[in-house]
Amino acid sequence: MTLDPSYLDYPNRRHGQDMDRHDWRLAKDRPRVDLPDGQQAAVMPVVVCEHHPINPKKAPFGHPHGMVTPYPDLRHYTTRDYGNRVGVFRILKAFREAGLTATFALSADLLERARPLVDAILNDGHEIAAAGLNGDTIHHSGMGEADERALIGRVRDAFTAAGLEPKAWMSPARQESFNTPDLLTEAGFTTVLDWETDQVPVFMRTKHGALAAPPVFNELDDYKLLTERKQTEDLWARQILDSVDLLKSEHAARGAQALGFTLTPFVIGQPFRIGALEEVCEKLAGDDTVWCAGASAVSEAFRKLEAAS
C-alpha cells in the first residue's frame, strides 16, 4: 500500500523543527541566565494527580495511566484512587520534611472528590496546576476549536469554583491539538507542562501572548521507568541526581539550566518506593547550588533573567 503524496505535505516543514511556536536554536546560542545566590540549576518536581474514569472512552487513544482491562477494571481503578488518597500524602511528607516546593497538577474532576488533598497541597505552599478535566478527556487535532475552548473553559470554571486560579496547565497524557497553546493563553494560563524542548523554559508564541514551556522530561518519569521499564528505585533516584549533577557541571559554560520530572502518586507513593523519593529530596535540599521550586516560578524567573541579559 502506498501513501497519498499529500501525506508528506506539511505546511510547517522547515529547518530545525516543524513548528513555529518558538525559534529554533542550538544550546550554545541561548542567552545566558545566572540565578541568584550561586544557584546553578533549577529543579521542578511535578506531581500528577489525575482522576481516571473506570469506564474510559479511550478516544482518540487511552491514557497510558488509565484503565487496562475491560470494564469494570476495579484493580487499576482502585490503585489510582489509592495514589490520590494515600500515596500522595507520602509525597507531600517527603517534600515537607526536606523543605522543598513542587507543582501538583490536578484533574478538575478531583477538586470535589479530593478536597482534603487540595487543602494539604495549599497548606504546604505548593503550586497547583490544572491537569485538564480527567485522564480520559484527551486534547487532539480531531477536536474542533470551539469544543476545545469549551473544554478548557469548563476546567477553568471548576478551578475557579474551588477557589483556585492556576497559572500552569498539563494536558491529559501531555497531548495537545494545534490550537491548545492559543486556547490556554486565551483562558489565562501562562505556563504549559507538556513540552521538553530545551534545558531551559521556552517561551512559545500564541495569539494571546507568550506561553512558558519549562522542560519536564518524560525520560525521568517514575511511571515510565519504574513500571514500564521495570527499573529499580535506586537506579531511578540516581538518574535524577545524576541529571542535576550534569547540569551543574555545565553551569560555567551554559549558565543555569532547568530540570523537571513527573511523580505519580500510585507509583512512587507506594510504601516500598517512597524511600527513593525521600533520598532524592534529601540530596536536593542539602545542595545550596540547586533551586527547587514550582514550574511557574522557575519559568517566570528565567523569563525575567533572559529579558535582562
Chain segment 150-196, per-residue pLDDT in tens? 999 999 999 999 999 999 999 999 999 999 999 999 999 999 999 99
The number of angstroms, rounded, from the C-alpha of 231 to the middle of its chain's C-alpha atoms is 21
> Which grid cell sits at 274?
517512597
**Within a domain: 72:** yes
**Within a domain: 11:** no
Per the listing, cell 516560578 goes with 297
Q: Partners of 191 in the beta sheet?
A: 168, 212
Q: How far are the Cα atoms of 13, 199, 210, 241 from residue 16, in angstroms, in the given order?
A: 9, 16, 21, 30
pLDDT at 211: 98
Its pTM stands at: 0.95
Which range marks the domain in which residue 201 is found? 34-308
pLDDT at 19: 81
**Within a domain: 19:** no
Relative orientation angle of helices 88-98 and 274-285, to the nearest 10 degrees: 20
**Within a domain: 42:** yes
Per the listing, cell 472512552 goes with 57
Torsion sign (Cα): 8, 11, 13, 18: negative
pLDDT at 60: 95
Torsion sign (Cα): 71, 72, 74, 79: positive
If you average pLDDT over every residue of the chain, what do you get?
Answer: 95
φ/ψ (deg, to 5) at 57: -75, -30
Q: Parallel, antiparallel, or unpaired for β 211-213 and 202-204?
A: antiparallel
Average pLDDT over residues 33-50: 96
pLDDT at 186: 98
pLDDT at 297: 98
Single out the residue of 212, 187, 204, 255 nearest to residue 103, CA to CA. Answer: 212
pLDDT at 239: 98
pLDDT at 131: 98
pLDDT at 17: 75
**Within a domain: 1:** no
Sequence-ordered list of residues with C-beta below 8 angstroms from that of 54, at least 6 positions apart, any chain:
67, 71, 72, 73, 74, 77
Spatial distance between the Cα atoms of 181 and 211, rounded to a whole number of angstroms: 7
Spatial distance between the Cα atoms of 93 and 76, rounded to a whole number of angstroms: 25
Burial class (CB in 10 A: 0-12, 13-18, 19+), 202: buried
Average pLDDT over residues 226-230: 97
Torsion sign (Cα): 132, 137, 141, 146: negative
Cβ atoms 101, 291 nearer than 8 A: no
Burial class (CB in 10 A: 0-12, 13-18, 19+), 172: buried
Chain segment 88-122, per-residue pLDDT in tens? 999 999 999 999 999 999 999 999 999 999 999 99
CATH number at residue 124: 3.20.20.370
Q: Partners of 47 in the beta sheet?
A: 104, 263
Domain count, the chain: 1
**Within a domain: 227:** yes
Burial class (CB in 10 A: 0-12, 13-18, 19+), 123: exposed
Higher pLDDT among residues 307 and 15, named by residue: 307
Torsion sign (Cα): 264, 270, 273, 278: positive
**Within a domain: 296:** yes
pLDDT of 258 higher than 70: yes
Chain segment 63-77, per-residue pLDDT in tens? 999 999 999 999 999
Average pLDDT over residues 271-285: 98
**Within a domain: 25:** no
pLDDT of 37 higher than 70: yes
Sequence-ordered list of residues with C-beta below 8 angstroms from that of 261, at least 6 positions apart, any chain:
44, 45, 46, 216, 217, 220, 221, 222, 240
pLDDT of 1 higher than 60: no
Q: How confident is the model at residue 4 (pLDDT cuts 50, 70, 90)?
A: confident
For the chain, percent of residues with pLDDT exceeding 70: 97
